[in-house]
């Protein structure tokens, strides 16, 4: 009897029993563009930080954003800074606490051999674009680069119109649509990343309730740090277990798509570039947030003085160099393995 009681006490005192339940809500279905979070879950990084993390997927018919302010999820992945600006406008008490992608993967895609050698060549081409793009980044494209509304065509996420009309261009994600175009045509399309032409919003940002930032900053810090380490390991380490979780959650995801997305994330410097080079993945600067806000004002998306962009983010949990030790170590291990 005494031995049984001791065993019960030991189990109750085990690290697993002390884990905090955390729900992370995504902005889309499971995919490599969210791979760092799955990596931290798969390899135990979240568990080592004291968390039992549940990932809640997003999707075309799923809006997880209201759940954050309502307290039904602990952290939310936002697509870019526009949602954070809107949260300030709506007086929703949430903030961006880290930016996992330095560049937004949003891009324009064009067929080769149609005279689209430069970004400026795209401004007069028929453009397939979804409604969300028309009322966000297209307004910036129009104001800053001279794209024309009369050239817009509706985009319903089918490649058929683009494939049938070689002189048309379309919106896409640099990590996704180019692969499907190449599979259909046998030739890689031209890819123009909006981020390379002035659309300098951070992407795949982690948002947290203001109450958690104020009352549980240590908890927020642990989650941000674990997520950062997950991203380093996903980019440079053994990501097989994370990819299996991604495929489990998203049955449409294939090994080929995962490999392509990872290759593009590295080639385009979507994650480990910019401020992340010196300050670590997740890094942000207020100057850049303010600059992007001003571009949105100039584009007519926001009104001057409508919000203070500083209220959309906090630098409290980033720019600390977390995970920088993983970049050379893991990359060096990979090189060594490749030489064998």
- Distance CA(293)–CA(303), nearest Å, equals 10
3-state secondary structure of 208: strand
CB-CB contact of 43 with 31 (8 Å): no
Quote the pLDDT of residue 300. Answer: 96
pLDDT of residue 206 exceeding 50: yes
Q: Look up tokens 């409604």; give the residue.
A: 131
The first and second tokens of residue 211, run together, are: 């109450």
Q: Check whether 173 has a pLDDT greater than 90.
A: yes
What contacts 85, CB < 8 A, 6 or more positions away?
293, 296, 302, 307, 309, 312
CA–CA separation, 310 vs 119, rounded Å?
Answer: 31
Three-class SS state of 128 = strand
Name residues whose C-beta falls within 8 Å of residue 333's C-beta, 6 or more positions apart in sequence. none
Q: Where are the domains of the chain?
A: 2-102+201-339, 106-197
Model pTM?
0.91
**Nearest of 264, 235, 59, 242 to residue 173 by alpha carbon:** 264
Residue 123 gets which letter from DSSP?
Answer: G
- The residue ranking higher by pLDDT, 314 or 339, is 314
Residue 275 · residue 284 · CB < 8 Å: yes
Tell me if 334 sits within 8 A of 243, measured CB to CB: no
Residue 328 — very low, low, confident or very high, per pLDDT cuts 50/70/90?
A: low
In angstroms, the CA 246 to CA 79 distance is 18
- Tell me the pLDDT tens digit for each residue of 40-86: 999 999 999 999 999 999 988 889 999 999 999 999 999 999 999 99
The pLDDT tens digits of the residues spanning 212-247 come to 999 999 999 999 999 999 999 999 999 999 999 999
188: left (phi over 0), alpha (psi -120 to 50) or beta: beta
CB 70 within 8 A of CB 236: no
Q: Which CATH number fits domain 106-197: 3.40.50.1820, 1.10.3720.10, 3.40.50.150, 3.40.190.10?
A: 3.40.190.10
- The whole-chain average pLDDT of the chain stands at 92
| Identical fold, 2-102+201-339 and 106-197 | yes
The topology (CATH level 3) of 2-102+201-339 is D-Maltodextrin-Binding Protein; domain 2 (3.40.190)
Task: Give the per-residue pLDDT at 339.
Answer: 33
User: In this predicted model, what pLDDT tens digit does every residue of 262-286 receive, in sequence order?
Assistant: 999 999 999 999 999 999 999 999 9
What's residue 8's pLDDT? 42
Specify the pLDDT at position 337.
35
């Amino acid at each position: 009897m005494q031995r049984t009681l001791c065993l019960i006490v030991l189990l109750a005192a085990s690290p697993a029993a002390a884990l905090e339940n955390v729900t992370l809500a995504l902005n889309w279905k499971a995919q490599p563009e969210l791979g760092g979070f799955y990596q931290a879950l798969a390899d135990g990084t979240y568990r080592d930080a004291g968390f039992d993390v549940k990932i809640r997927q997003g999707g075309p018919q799923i809006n997880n954003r209201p759940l954050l302010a309502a307290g039904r999820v602990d952290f939310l992945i936002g697509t870019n800074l526009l949602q954070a600006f809107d949260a300030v406008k709506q007086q929703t008490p949430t903030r961006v606490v880290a930016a996992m992608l330095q560049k937004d993967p949003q891009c324009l895609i064009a067929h080769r051999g149609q005279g689209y050698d430069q970004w400026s060549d795209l401004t007069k081409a028929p453009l397939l674009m979804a409604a969300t793009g028309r009322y966000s980044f297209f307004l910036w494209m129009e104001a800053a680069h001279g794209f024309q509304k009369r050239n817009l065509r509706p985009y319903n996420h089918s490649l058929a119109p683009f494939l049938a009309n070689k002189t048309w261009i379309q919106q896409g994600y640099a990590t996704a649509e180019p692969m499907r175009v190449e599979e259909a045509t046998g030739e890689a399309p031209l890819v123009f990343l909006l981020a390379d032409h002035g659309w300098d919003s951070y992407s795949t940002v982690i948002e947290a309730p203001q109450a958690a930032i104020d009352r549980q900053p240590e908890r927020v810090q642990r989650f941000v740090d674990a997520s950062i380490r997950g991203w380093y390991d996903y980019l440079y380490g053994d990501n097989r277990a994370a990819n299996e979780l991604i495929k489990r959650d998203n049955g449409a995801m294939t090994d080929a798509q995962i490999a392509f997305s990872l290759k593009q994330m590295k080639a385009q410097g979507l994650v480990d570039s910019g401020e992340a080079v010196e300050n670590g993945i997740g890094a942000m600067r207020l100057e850049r947030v303010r600059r992007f806000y001003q571009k949105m004002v100039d584009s007519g998306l926001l009104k001057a003085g409508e919000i203070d962009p500083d209220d959309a983010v906090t630098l409290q949990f980033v720019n600390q160099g977390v995970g920088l030790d993983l970049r050379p170590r893991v990359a060096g291990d990979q090189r060594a393995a490749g030489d064998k």
